[in-house]
Amino acid sequence: MPSCLIWLCFAYPHMPEFSIESPEDRRLDPYRDVKRARDHSEETFIAEGEKLVLRLLESGCRTRSILCTPAARDRLPTGLPAEIPVYVASTPIISQLIGFKFHRGILACGERPEPANLAALLEAQVSPKPLLLVLCPEIRDPTNLGTIIRTAEGFGAAFLIAGRAGTEPFSRRVLRTSMGSVLRLPIVQTDDWIATLETLHDHNVETIATVLDPSAERLAEAQRPARVALLLGNEDAGLPAALAAMARRRVTLPMAVAVDSLNVSVAAGIVLHHFAGVK
């Protein structure tokens, strides 16, 4: 065995390492062209950057592999599980592989968790224990969805329900913007929003639609129920009329004359702060 490999195995006894000499190495296929749009059917996702990779390793999601530069490898925690291969490559090789200039030093391929089940999650939240949920039927911008997921976790939401018509929660940009919250906060994905709201109502959860309607309750005056699910509208069209009508209540954020609305992720933070009862 070459002396350099002996040193690597001795320094990282639990972590199999492989030196990568070409971007065409088939073991790196999960990382190929990470900028492409990923769909809801894919089993894996890519975490980018040291903080996010460490949060993936700490999460309940399985880490399939790590790809990093030699400098980033030296910062990896010791004692990584033996089943996680670490591929070490130069920055130019990684840049060519992923399709853009790479400077974060490290990526990891994670495995999506098993789909979360709405009924099971609700059964675990025994009434009258306080419950805060966030519903995103069709958030299309990954930065918005990532920010909403991070904000929801920050204000103590039990889980989030996302529509499959919106952006993929485990996409690269959502992962990065959420700063790892998507790895911790359970996310239910659905196409059937009528059934979803009916299930929430059956479990004594009060659904509240956020709308741009001056006849709706003003947020500052809205009472806080113990068990609440907040529906957030699409960036352009807001909430579908059928969902807004089906919700138990509707609230609005009054705007100054010159402004018709706020960015949905900003509005989500304000509304979550109110219904979380943060002092």
pLDDT tens figures, 158-202: 999 999 999 999 998 999 999 999 999 999 999 999 999 999 999
Element (H, E) at 48: strand 44-48
Task: Please give the structure tokens belonging to residue 68.
Answer: 């990093």
Task: Say if residue 229 is in the same domain as residue 141.
Answer: yes
Report the pLDDT value the prediction gives residue 187, as an integer from 0 to 100. Answer: 97
Quote the CA–CA distance of 259 and 184 in Å, as a whole number: 35
CB 181 within 8 A of CB 51: no
Residues 185 and 233 both lie in one domain: yes
Instruction: State which residues form the domain around 165.
Output: 118-276
Domain boundary among 85, 111, 137: 111
Same domain, 48 and 179: no
Say yes or no: 251 and 130 in one domain. Answer: yes
Q: Is 1 helix (H, G, I), strand (E, B) or coil?
A: coil
Q: Are residues 122 and 216 in the same domain?
A: yes
140 and 267, same domain (yes or no) = yes
Residue segments in the chain with a per-residue pLDDT below the cut of 70: 1-15, 37-41, 127, 278-279
Domains in the chain, number: 2
What's the CATH code of the domain at 8?
Answer: 3.30.1330.30
Q: Do 58 and 140 belong to one domain? A: no
pLDDT at residue 279, as a whole number = 53
Q: What is the structure's pLDDT at 255?
A: 86
- Boundary-marking domain end, from 78, 111, 144: 111
Domain boundary among 80, 111, 142: 111
User: How far apart, in whole angstroms, are the C-alpha atoms of residue 92 and residue 104?
Assistant: 12
Please indicate, yes or no, whether residues 254 and 180 belong to a single structural domain of this protein.
yes
Burial class (CB in 10 A: 0-12, 13-18, 19+), 201: middle
Please tell me whether residues 192 and 218 are part of one structural domain.
yes
246: domain CATH number? 3.40.1280.10
Residues 152, 92: one domain?
no
Domain co-membership, 38 together with 79: yes
What is the reported pLDDT for 189?
A: 96
Question: How many beta carbons lie within 10 A of that of residue 112, not counting itself?
Answer: 17
| 127 and 261 co-located in one domain | yes
